[in-house]
Amino acid sequence: MTVCWLNGQIVPREKATVSIFDHGVLYGDGVFEGIRFYNNRVFRLESHLQRLHDSAAALALDMPFSLEQLAIAITDVIEAFHLADGYIRLVITRGEGRLGINPFNCSTPTVFIIADELALVEDSIKAEGAKLIVASIRRTPSSSLEPRIKSLNYLNNIQALMEAKYANADEAIMLNHEGKIAEGSADNVFIVKNNIVKTPPTIDGALEGITRGVVIDVARELGLTMLECSLTPYDIYTADECFLTGTGMELLPVREIDGRSIAHCPGETYQKIYHGFRGLIERETASLFC
Ligand code: PMP
């Protein structure tokens, strides 16, 4: 059963409600994290809390709880959850305010944490690879909304995902205003070409994904050449391999984009990195008592 924590305490699901005057609801004014736990232990908790802190700081959103308090709250929520593996959503909104957008009218930020079962990627997609399109809608330019801020504003990404669904695809790749690849609608993008692993730099419009960071480290530890460099759709169309990364999906191989088949899916390099990534999760979230 879902576990909900609201402003300092675990509450029954039906009591886990926010005000219709909350600026998170009215304007998407807030930040969040999507976090995964395995074996009752969070994977890369510090990285998620740091990103949350930075997102809030960038928006001058005062966090009413310290990162230590939030870490304890997450532990409490996981303890109350019925499964050892699951997903945590941690949200901080600007809080209740008047009807204008002015954030300085809001009193205290609203903080909530939800533990829920993972919406797993279908086994067939995980095994055979995802089908992608390049969305026509572009990623909001970083001069308008810094992509490193994990904010509650996802309309841009939602519209890209809708394009994918209308085209019977699994996911959409978003380009920035210069036609360079930014990221997926809720994931980061990697390709492999001539044994070089490449991912777009965050300056091209990507969120600094926690999984992306881990994959970059794993690839380097495996001795692979890893580059953060600008990519265009041509680079994916002609890639040897392509895969997506995100907290929920972990790593997802790509089999097709805009009707072009990716040469290898799942490719050898993907499989090496995936095994390295899984090994790391198992080591970092192993039971303390075995
Ligand atoms: N980009 C966007 C826009 C996302 O929403 C996410 C997932 N929250 C990611 C990338 C992947 O980030 P992470 O690996 O931290 O889940």
Cis peptide before 201 (omega within 30 of 0): no
Homologous superfamily (CATH) for 123-282: D-amino Acid Aminotransferase, subunit A, domain 2 (3.20.10.10)
* Pocket around ligand 1 at a 6 A CB cut-off: 34, 157, 183, 186-188, 207, 209-212, 245-247
Q: How far is the CA of 290 from the centre of ligand 1 (A)?
A: 32
**pTM score of the predicted model:** 0.96
pLDDT in tens, 8-33: 999 999 999 999 999 999 999 999 99
Q: Do domains 3-116 and 123-282 have the same CATH topology?
A: no
Q: How many residues in total does the chain contain?
A: 290
Q: How far is the CA of 146 from the centre of ligand 1 (A)?
A: 14
Question: What amino acid occupies position 197?
Answer: V
Give CA torsion, residues 19, 23, 29, 30, to 10 deg.
-30
Which residue puts its alpha carbon closest to atom 12 of ligand 1? 209
194, with CB counted inside 10 A (0-12, 13-18, 19+), is exposed
Q: How far is the CA of 28 from the centre of ligand 1 (A)?
A: 17
CATH architecture of 3-116: 2-Layer Sandwich (3.30)
Q: Between the CA of residue 2 and those of 16, 81, 83, 87, what are the distances in Å?
A: 11, 7, 10, 10
User: Rounded distance, CA 73 to CA 96, Å?
Assistant: 22
Q: Where are the domains of the chain?
A: 3-116, 123-282
pLDDT in tens, 52-107: 999 999 999 999 999 999 999 999 999 999 999 999 999 999 999 999 999 999 98
* Cβ 219 vs Cβ 274: under 8 Å: no
